[in-house]
Structure 1
Amino acid sequence: MKVYRPEIDGLRAISVIAVILYHAEFTLAGHTLLEGGYIGVDVFFVISGFLISQILLTEIEATGRIDYLKFYTRRARRILPALFAVVFATMPFAYYLLLPSELLDYANSIGSSLLFGSNIYFYFTTAQYGEPDTLLKPFLHTWSLSVEEQFYIGFPLLLLITRRYLKSKFLPCVLLMATLSFVFCVLTVRYDQQQAFYSPFTRAWELLAGTLLAYYEVRRGRARPRPLLAAAGLVLVVGSLILFRKDTVHPGLLTVIPVIGTCLVLAFASHKDVAGRLLASRPAALTGIVSYSLYLWHYPVFAFARLTSLDFNNGDKVLAVAATALVAVVSFVAIEKPIRYTRRNRAFWIYLSSSVVTITAAVVSAVTMAGFPQRLDQVYPPVAQTNEGRLESTFQSLNSNIRADKSVIFIIGDSYARNWSVALNNYVDADRYEVVAISYLNCKVEIKDDIVKAPSSDSRYDQYCIPFEKYINDKSLLSRTKAIFLASHRPFEYEANPFRFELLSWMKSHSDDAKIFIFGNYFQLDRLHSCLGLMFQTKSDASACLRLATYPPTNQPLAQLPFFPSDLAFNYVDIIKLHCDYDKEKCLTSSGGVPFMTDWNHLTAEFLTTLIGDILEKRTADLQSSGLLNFLVLPHARQSDRTASSQPNAGPTSFASP
């Protein structure tokens, strides 16, 4: 007979509270609290492996078989009703708050979750877990549910195979699989932390740790309670939550600590000892009982709260936690508990099937309609979107016809290189110079033996890294290079790509004494918000983004910034000062219906073209001393050339249309 153990619910309570606080990111004196809260998921994995294995092993010991229909029905009752409730509740918010690309991602994440594969989906589509961008994905947390669901599919099959074909070999098989999973995890995390985080193969050992404990208890009975070991286990779990950091290699060798701690608590805790009494206390046990609903609701509540709050401060986070607790309790009482324990099987299956059909229809509609882009028409006209997309696409063709009889201007940079190259190319003196535009976006750049190596960190970025390595090592291009333009995210502050100034020095050493120009950034938002998202939510133009911009600080000496290259001769082009002298009332926010940025920091190509033209036209005298006008032409001269090229018998122009 199954005995209820409230201390397990208490352990669940610690885990879910840790995860919620981790995702809330409370701060105190500039420090984020409970950075190791993600360990709560590992504790959940061990508990799930223990309980599910205990159920199945007990059944197979008693009956010699597993009633798969009964097992998966129980799992469906446990998991799906509450999950569907969250999906239905978030759909209106998603439609009215998420941009088309975000809504498409939201729909795909729901679809992958229904297919028990959201961990796989997020592995291929999402940045590193815990990064700011991932906090805005309402269903990112379902990756762990998918890992558990994959275990629910795989473990019964393992039981069946070992029972039928490998009699008495169950324990060696589990030990072997857990060992292989652990080794694979430790090796994988070294070269692909993302895969190690999301993969069921790197997480299986945590679930199987619970399986081994369950096997022991089913075969030999529960171990005698040992207060010291239970307390030690609780210390290991809580200590990991407190001491682990975001940069702790995880999952990996150190993950053994909370896994062992969880096993010690499960094996030796009792409501008669100190650790057991703490875990079995009524508040802890009740929180553990509602832990699944709390886990399901907290991430979408936080995601939509962040989307609608311009400053998600500690006060907002407290409200979000309170809202999570409220809706989780209501969901548990009104949906999860009644459906889980109802005897009305027909009503359950009707609810389940109708929910699946409705959600599938909504997902297919969102995917088919590409996130319903017409919702943006009011703030970002379709014609403007089309023009901007056309402009941005020209980056890949800028180097298609490099002539050998002209001097060269290199435009290099990270993700900024694309639109800066497109815009600057419009003003380069094409009679004298050829433009070579390259990006080292997600390239692992290294200069060795006078050769630049730039393999991509992911095959998706080969389109940038392969041409980058090709052109940067072309000594014939470098030898006739007269100017190098760097377009980089916060060039003197950005921690990624620290090689950029070494690269500039190397290029200059191979050039015809090229001048180096580093372009400053325009106004930017906090990373959690996109300009287009703010425009969409507030139904306003991009001036709202400019008003709320948090970067750059107005009084920030460049030489004091961490990556300022004091040994490099360069000219800094402060575009905000040149354009509007940091007076937001005078600064442009759009061009031709295109906002100055659509995300939180990248300027659009259309806007950049207008901005650079404005600076060239109005601040000619200021630019003379820097030498920039030796390489660029003024807008009126550019327009004259374009007009001349349109006359009969006129030669072709080399300027791209803005």
Structure 2
Amino acid sequence: MKYRTDIDGLRALAVVAVILFHLGFLPNGYLGVDVFFVISGYLITSIVYGRSEKGKFSIIDFYERRIRRIIPLLLVVSTIAFLLGLVYMLPDDLENLCQSVVASNVSANNILMYLTSADYWAVKNDYKPLMHTWSLGIEEQFYLVYPFLFYVLSGPRLKYIKHVLIALTAVSLIAFLLQDSVAATFYFIQYRFFELAIGGLGAILFSKVVIERYQQGRMLLYGLLAALALILFLPIVPTNELRVLLTTMITVGILIVGKQYFEGDRLYAALMANPVAAFIGSISFSLYMWHQLIFAFARYAFLEEITPGWAVALTGLTLVMSVITYYGIENPFRDRKVMSTRTVLLFTGGLFLLSTGSAFYVYTIGGIVKDYPQLALYRDQLPDQRNFLSGSDNIHISYNENVWDLDRDFTAGTDRIKTLVVGNSFGRDATNLMLESSMSDSLEVRYAEWKELRERPEMKARLLAADRIILAAQTYIDRDYLTSLEEAHDITIDRDKVWMLGTKDFGYSNGIHYNRTDGGTDFQNYRTAMKGDVLSINEQLREEWGDRYIDLIALLANDEGRILVFTPDGKFISQDTVHLTRSGARYLAQRLEDRFAEIFRG
């Protein structure tokens, strides 16, 4: 198959869009991945179908080419991410990175992202160096199925391949349109199959089509290019589903029509095959693999915000690293004259075992590879058990999760003040505040989830027995919640025994604070900005609950809305910028002593 220089230009457009998206400058730039999917399906099918027509298709050869093309660079990047994580990351974040290293290496990071970061657009994903390898998981899972279709339908049965692909594409597209979960349609191969397969169908069905009206074909091609640029760079399409569908169809249209014009049309060649576009397109895989790693570690360890100046600098570093790996890894490993199959397998197999095994081990110890005094975590105090599935015994969430033991009825006949805390994980934080306070010996604290308090019949007795009820807010909760409890259990709740403990937030990532501070830092004045609409939620709660509101942010934030990160002795108040550490709970409980005395002794 003749080399399509214009496809390098299409790759360049796609990878630039993705890079701008991850810098935070192009909201629709993520659609560049959809462009890559269609290109991949088109090129792979062109090769496989052509070989199958000649009776020369080999599954072994197919997988060797895929291994040479993808795996060496993937393993190098995931290994470097792991090594940087050992230096710069706090243990919980390192543990999460180790999960991503293992998942990326086994072509399953799309599944991990669905389980742990379902919202692809969430800010926390900006701090994940390997979050972008979800797309490689999609492609590699596609490759596990796709070649066997051609193997089964080889020889005289090859004429049925287009019918099978049309049927599978239709099933995938219908599933995509009917699935309500945005996360599922984003991360799972069954909802992405149609994008790659449509590229493949374009290669098969239109391989010999000739556009007889040359000028009209040119206009169509330019129109498709303009439409793709508009979708990528302007917010003109209202929904993600429509954006994906239009991007897919326009991209395959460009691939089909552009085949006739990439050599003879000067304007098209100038746009899509100029030296700059061709070079960026040729190194697009390296650019894609490096950019998120560099941006994520920059955000995590050095930069509170990627300004335009820093964006240029980081993109320049991405370009340098991409050139190095393009010439030092991609090209040598793809060339059978340079790298024998044995050498490729030894390198990839060895690095796979080393990086996957090391990352898995660090994951099992919760990422605690050294002492972290800021979190009161020390190597010689590691628990004996190993972390495998991040359950409630995970060392980083166990302090919060242990509160589940208090989801039980009050003790009959006790003289302690019966205190029922209601909430979610924020409620469990509130419970720990009570337990860490100087009044804990005079309290009998019990815990209940928001929803379960209304739905479980036995909660009625708990509500009636409670001397104090503490509601713990993460988002806005109005007083109608109490009315819903009364209606659910046919009771009347004494409003004088109910308080609302407010929301809290400690910024976007602890990583930058960990890497920026040392023992000489003025921890009593070291602050960070809070996320999103936390301040407005806090204000709404304060207005709704009045003197029944316990305002945590007022205790910790200054007039500019910047909140404390550390206790006075340099311990993180929050382990994950949302939930409290034991040190943070003790510090806050101390700051709340007078308020607690008013609530429990008043």
Is TM more than 0.5 here?
A: yes
Tell me by how many angstroms 1:422 deviates: 2.3
1:567-592 Cα offsets, whole Å, 9 max, x none, are 655523334656899899x9894499
Q: Which residue of 1 aligns with 2:310?
A: 316
Cα RMSD (Å): 3.8
Q: Which residue of 1 aligns with 2:107?
A: 116
* SS state at 1:312 partner: coil
* SS state at 2:528 partner: coil
Tell me by how many angstroms 1:298 deviates: 0.4
Contact 2:410 2:418 in 1 (8 A): no
Contact 1:559 1:566 in 2 (8 A): no
Mapped partners of 2:463, 2:333: distance in 1: 70
Mapped partners of 1:129, 1:37: distance in 2: 13
For residue 320 of structure 2, the aligned residue among 300, 320, 326 is 326
Mapped partners of 1:430, 1:193: distance in 2: 44
Stretches of structure 1 that go unaligned for 5 or more consecutive residues are 26-32, 441-453, 455-466, 635-658
Tell me by how many angstroms 1:356 deviates: 2.9
Once the two structures are overlaid, the 10-residue window that deviates more, 511-520 or 41-50, is: 511-520
Mapped partners of 2:400, 2:541: distance in 1: 30
Mapped partners of 2:564, 2:256: distance in 1: 65
Once the two structures are overlaid, the 10-residue window that deviates more, 310-319 or 268-277, is: 268-277
1:426-449 Cα offsets, whole Å, 9 max, x none, are 659789975442234xxxxxxxxx
Mapped partners of 1:319, 1:601: distance in 2: 31
For residue 602 of structure 1, the aligned residue among 560, 572, 579 is 579
Call closer, same or farther: CA 1:478–1:216 in 2, change over 3 Å.
Answer: same
For residue 302 of structure 1, the aligned residue among 295, 299, 303 is 295
Mapped partners of 1:395, 1:561: distance in 2: 24
1:616-635, aligned counterparts within 5 Å? 616=593, 619=594, 623=595, 629=597, 631-632=599-600
Call closer, same or farther: CA 1:78–1:436 in 2, change over 3 Å.
Answer: same
Mapped partners of 2:105, 2:89: distance in 1: 21
Q: Which residue of 1 aligns with 2:391?
A: none
Mapped partners of 2:531, 2:251: distance in 1: 46
Same amino acid, percent of matched pairs = 25
For residue 419 of structure 1, the aligned residue among 429, 437, 453 is 429
Q: Which residue of 1 aligns with 2:190?
A: 201
For residue 502 of structure 1, the aligned residue among 480, 497, 500 is 480
Residue identity opposite 1:162 in structure 2: L
* SS state at 1:600 partner: coil
Contact 1:9 1:279 in 2 (8 A): yes
Contact 2:507 2:531 in 1 (8 A): no
Q: Report the TM-score, using the length of structure 2 for normalisation.
A: 0.83
Tell me by how many angstroms 1:424 deviates: 1.6
1:487-566, aligned counterparts within 5 Å? 487-489=472-474, 494=475, 498-504=476-482, 506-507=484-485, 510-520=492-502, 524-527=505-508, 529-530=509-510, 534-535=513-514, 538-540=517-519, 544=523, 547-551=526-530, 563-564=540-541, 566=543
Contact 1:384 1:592 in 2 (8 A): no
Mapped partners of 2:556, 2:172: distance in 1: 57
Mapped partners of 2:35, 2:536: distance in 1: 47
Residue identity opposite 1:502 in structure 2: D
Whether 2:244 is the aligned partner of 1:255: answer yes
Mapped partners of 2:84, 2:524: distance in 1: 21
Q: Which residue of 2 aligns with 1:396?
A: 404
Q: Which residue of 1 aligns with 2:362?
A: 366
Mapped partners of 2:133, 2:184: distance in 1: 16
1:78-131 Cα offsets, whole Å, 9 max, x none, are 112322332343333111012223223323322222222221222223241121
Residue identity opposite 1:207 in structure 2: L
Contact 1:97 1:536 in 2 (8 A): yes
Tell me by how many angstroms 1:526 deviates: 2.4
Mapped partners of 2:471, 2:574: distance in 1: 19
Contact 1:485 1:517 in 2 (8 A): yes
* SS state at 1:400 partner: coil
Contact 2:523 2:570 in 1 (8 A): no
Mapped partners of 1:578, 1:156: distance in 2: 61
Contact 1:378 1:539 in 2 (8 A): no
Tell me by how many angstroms 1:14 deviates: 0.5
Q: Aligned pair count?
A: 574
Mapped partners of 1:323, 1:141: distance in 2: 18
Mapped partners of 1:97, 1:358: distance in 2: 20
Mapped partners of 2:82, 2:523: distance in 1: 26
Residue identity opposite 1:21 in structure 2: L
Contact 1:21 1:37 in 2 (8 A): yes
Mapped partners of 2:76, 2:531: distance in 1: 42
Residue identity opposite 2:8 in structure 1: D
Whether 2:53 is the aligned partner of 1:53: answer no
1:27-46 Cα offsets, whole Å, 9 max, x none, are xxxxxx32000100001000
Mapped partners of 1:390, 1:557: distance in 2: 25
Tell me by how many angstroms 1:425 deviates: 4.5
Residue identity opposite 1:354 in structure 2: G
Mapped partners of 1:552, 1:128: distance in 2: 16
1:1-150, aligned counterparts within 5 Å? 2-25=1-24, 33-63=25-55, 65-150=56-141
For residue 169 of structure 1, the aligned residue among 148, 160, 167 is 160
Residue identity opposite 1:530 in structure 2: N
* SS state at 1:514 partner: helix
1:617-656, aligned counterparts within 5 Å? 619=594, 623=595, 629=597, 631-632=599-600
* SS state at 1:186 partner: helix
Call closer, same or farther: CA 1:312–1:342 in 2, change over 3 Å.
Answer: farther
* SS state at 1:57 partner: helix
Contact 2:409 2:462 in 1 (8 A): no
Residue identity opposite 2:410 in structure 1: I
* SS state at 2:529 partner: coil
* SS state at 1:311 partner: coil
Residue identity opposite 1:107 in structure 2: C
Mapped partners of 2:44, 2:204: distance in 1: 11
Residue identity opposite 1:163 in structure 2: S
Q: Which has the higher contact order (CA 8 A, sep 6+)?
A: 2
Stretches of structure 2 that go unaligned for 5 or more consecutive residues are 384-394
* SS state at 1:138 partner: coil
Contact 2:528 2:564 in 1 (8 A): no
Mapped partners of 2:424, 2:524: distance in 1: 23
Q: Which residue of 1 aligns with 2:351?
A: 355
* SS state at 1:302 partner: helix
* SS state at 1:3 partner: coil
Q: Which residue of 2 aligns with 1:266?
A: 255
Tell me by how many angstroms 1:595 deviates: 3.4
Residue identity opposite 1:321 in structure 2: T
Q: Which residue of 1 aligns with 2:388?
A: none
Tell me by how many angstroms 1:53 deviates: 0.3
Residue identity opposite 1:317 in structure 2: A
Residue identity opposite 2:434 in structure 1: L
Call closer, same or farther: CA 1:89–1:404 in 2, change over 3 Å.
Answer: closer
Once the two structures are overlaid, the 10-residue window that deviates more, 261-270 or 376-385, is: 376-385
Once the two structures are overlaid, the 10-residue window that deviates more, 285-294 or 502-511, is: 502-511
Whether 2:317 is the aligned partner of 1:336: answer no
Q: Which residue of 1 aligns with 2:390?
A: none
Mapped partners of 1:597, 1:546: distance in 2: 16
Residue identity opposite 1:34 in structure 2: L
